[in-house]
Amino acid sequence: MHINKIKHTNAGQFFLMAGPCAIEGRDIALRIAERIVTITDKFQIPYIFKGSYRKANRTKLNSFTGIGDIPALEILREVGETFDIPTVTDIHESEEAELAAPYVDVLQIPAFLCRQTELIEAAARTGRAVNIKKGQFLSGESMAFAVEKVKATNPESTVILTDRGNSFGYGDLVVDYRNIPAMQAHGAPVVMDCTHSLQQPNQSSGVTGGKPALIATIAKAAIAVGADGLFIETHPVPAEAKSDGANMLPLDQLEGLLEKLVRIRESIR
C-alpha cells in the first residue's frame, strides 16, 4: 500500500503511527497490529504500523538492538500485507535505506540524524515516503532544510515531519506546540510523537526513563493545535518490552485515548 492511500481518507481526521518500539517477534507484532487496526477501523483513523527493525541508539552496550535485520523486516512486510496497511521503520545509515525500502512504505529519520544529508538523500532515492523527526536541538522553522533535501533528491517523495520535543536541561524534554504550525508551513503533514517527547534519556541506571502518564496530555494538546497525525508507541505490557518500555502506552489504553482525541478533532473542525 502506498502512503498516499492513507491521506485524506477521512476529511479532517488525524492519522496514527503506532506500534511497538522494536520488532520483538512475529506473534507479538501481528497481535499488536491486529488490535490497533480494529480500533482505528472503529474510529476511521488512517493507520500506519510502526516498528523498528533495528535499534541503533541505545544507552548501554548490552541493550536490546533487534532480532536480526531481515527477520524483523520480513515481519514488517507481513504485517503490512496481512492487514493491508502502510508500515514505517527507522534507518540510521545511508546503506540501510536500500535494505529496508523493499519491506516498508515509510522510512523514518531519527531526530538525532535529521541533519544527515546523505541519509536523507538515500531515503528519498528509494521512492518511499520519508518521515523526518525534528531534532531535539532544532526549531520547527529550521526543518525547512530537511524538506528541501528530500525534494531536491526526489521531487515526487512524500515528506512527513514529526516533533518529539526539545531538550530541556540534561535529561528532560519540553514540547513547544508552536513547532506544529511552523513545520506545516513547509508543506508537509506534521506528526506529534506523544511517547518520545516524554522520554528521560541517559538515566544513571543506563535505561531510558519516561512519563507515560502524560501521553494523553501531549496527544490532546497536539490535536487541539491541529497536528495532522500522532505517533504513539504501544505494547501489551510495557514493563516487558525490550526497548523504551518506560514511555510506552499500554495497549489496552489506546482505544479510550483515541476516542477522546476524535471528539477533540471533531469539536475544532
Task: Output the pLDDT for position 8.
Answer: 38
Task: Output the pLDDT for position 208.
Answer: 58
Read off the pLDDT of each residue in 72-88 and give the average, rounded to a whole number: 98
The domains found in the chain, sorted by start residue, are 3-268 (3.20.20.70)
Cell 489504553, residue?
A: 253
- pLDDT tens sequence across 4-19: 555 435 568 999 999 9
Read off the pLDDT of each residue in 161-185 and give the average, rounded to a whole number: 94
Least confident of 128-132, 206-210, 214-218: 206-210
